[in-house]
Structure 1
């Protein structure tokens, strides 16, 4: 939450290394490898059961709601 506040309130610009360090992103790849990295992730997601993906998305949405 503190990193998000810093970004929103101060309009900070982050480079890829800083975004990775604070957990804003979970992977950084060189631009030349981006298409392959995206294809790898989407293929992995596509091979999971649709109901499993739906349940995971619902769980993430639920965790994102304020208490």
Structure 2
């Protein structure tokens, strides 16, 4: 049985311009907002997308 060919995965990084309200949130609040507001919007438009939240402010 031949192996099924699939397209190679694509990795994309989103830079989100922040607001003072976003920066006032704790890292956990930001992750929660991403999970409840951003992920559902992406899932409504496409399938097969996996997301990971990275808070780069940690490195500042």
Judge same fold: TM > 0.5, yes or no.
no
What range is the shorter-chain TM-score in? Answer: 0.3 to 0.5
> Larger relative contact order (C-alpha < 8 A, sep ≥ 6)?
2
- Which one has a larger percent helix, Structure 1 or Structure 2? 1
Q: TM-score, normalization: structure 2?
A: 0.33
